[in-house]
Structure 1
C-alpha cells in the first residue's frame, strides 16, 4: 500500500505580519520551526525505518519544513516549483488588506477556474490546477511506498482533488479546509486500487503549542 503524507507548511512570517503569501518567499517563524519538528516526530513514528521520499515546494517556508522532516530519514528533499501556492501576482508580499480592497470576488457560477482576481500577474485557479496535477502524477509514478509532500494550503487542497481522481474541470468548487502544520494522509489500497483520504488536516501534534496572535493572511 502506498502512503502519501501531505503536509501543509507550518507557521511562516507572512502569517504573523498579515502579508499575502502566494509566491512571497517568507521564512518559517520560530514557532513554525518547532511545528516542523513536531511534524517530523509524527511522520517518523508512522513510517519508522521504511523507505521514504520527501518532496516540497521550493518556497522557503515549505522547503525548510521538508528539510527537518528529511533529516529524520537521512534522505534529500526533492523540491518542485509546481508545488508552490497560487501566485497572487503583484499582491504577493503586500498587506492582506491591500489585496482585500482590490480583489475581484469569485463568482458563484460561470468560469470560476478561469476567473482573474484582479492583481496583475496573479495565477488563475486553472493555472494552479494545471501545474499541480502533473506534479502529483510524477510523484505517484515513483515506486516508493511512503512519500511526504510539503506544500501550501490552497495548493494542497487541489493535490487532494488530484489524488482522488477529480477531473480538473470539476475542481471549480472543491475546497478542503487545511491549516498550517496539518498532515493529511492519502492511501492507495492495493486490494481494490482505491485512492483514499484516511485523515484530513490532522493537527493533534500541535495542540499543546501556545497560540500566538497573528493577522489573517493566505498561502
Structure 2
C-alpha cells in the first residue's frame, strides 16, 4: 500500500495581515509554528516507525518552515518543488486582500473557466496553476517510498488530490477539495488493483490551536481568489 499525506501549511503572516498570499513569501506566525510541530507529531503517529519516508514541499518560506519539523522527526531532507507553490496572483501578491477583492473578475458558471482572465496583471490562469501542480505530482509519483509527505498550500492541495486521483485537467474547471490551514489529507493506492483513494480529507484533530476557517486559496467563499495558501 502506498500512502501520501498532504499537509496544507498552517497560519502564516499574510493570513493575519489580510494580505494576498500566492507567491508572496510570507512566514509562519507563532501559532503556525506551534501547529507545524503538531503536524509533524501527528504524522509520526500515522506512519510506521520503520517506514521509509519521502518529503516534498513547496519552496516558499511558509511551507519550508512547515516541512522543517517533519524533516526532523523522520530524519529526512525535504525535496523543494516550486511546482507545489500556491497560485500566483501576479502584482496582487502581498497587497491588501481588499485590493484584490475590488479588481478580481470571477470565472463564469459555465463556459471557459480554466483559461479565464481574472483581470490581475501577471496572475496565473487556473489552467496554468493546475498544470504546474500536476507536473509537481509527476515528480512525487516517481518516488519509490511507500509513505510520502507533501507540504503545500490550501489552494494547490486541490490539484494535488486531483492529480493523485487521475482526474483530467478539464475536470478541475469545477473540482475543489477544501482544506483548513494545518489540515492533513491522506491519499492511498493499493498494491493489487492500484486503485487510488481519497482516504481522509482535512483532518485537523491534531492542531493545538483552533483551526482557522477555510481560507486557503479562497476569499470569503469565492473560489480562486484570496489571501489563503
Query: Mapping of 1:1-219 within 5 angstroms?
Result: 1-47=1-47, 48-206=49-207, 208-210=208-210, 217-219=227-229
Question: How far apart are the structure 2 equivalents of 1:212 and 1:202?
Answer: 13
2: distance between equivalents of 1:103 and 1:85? 17
Per the TM alignment, residue 210 of structure 1 is displaced from its structure 2 partner at its CA by 4.7
Distance 1:211 1:161, change over 3 A: closer
Q: Secondary structure at the match of 1:55?
A: strand
CA apart distance, 1:212: 8.2
1:120-159 deviations in Å (ceiling 9; x for gaps): 0000010011111121122111111111000001111011
After superposition, the C-alpha distances for 1:36-79 in whole angstroms (9 at most, x for unaligned) are 00000010111123110110000000111011111101110110
Q: Distance in 2 between matches of 1:40 and 1:218?
A: 21
The 2-side partners of 1:205 and 1:39 are apart by 7
- Taking a change above 3 Å as real, the CA distance of residues 118 and 78 of structure 1, as seen in their structure-2 partners, is same
Q: Which runs of 5+ in 1 are unaligned?
A: none
Identify unmatched segments of 5+ residues in structure 2. 220-226
Change in CA separation of 1:179 and 1:71 when aligned onto 2, cut-off 3 Å: same
Does the C-alpha gap of structure 1 residues 22 and 34 become closer, same or farther in structure 2, counting only changes over 3 Å?
Answer: same
Q: How many residues align?
A: 217
1:174 deviates by 0.4
- Alpha carbons of 1:119 and 1:78: their partners in 2 closer, same or farther (altered >3 Å)? same
Give SS of 2:178's match: coil
CA RMSD of aligned residues (A): 1.5
TM-score by length of 1: 0.95
CA deviations on 1:81-124 (whole Å, 9 max, x unpaired) are 00000000010100101000000111111110001111100000
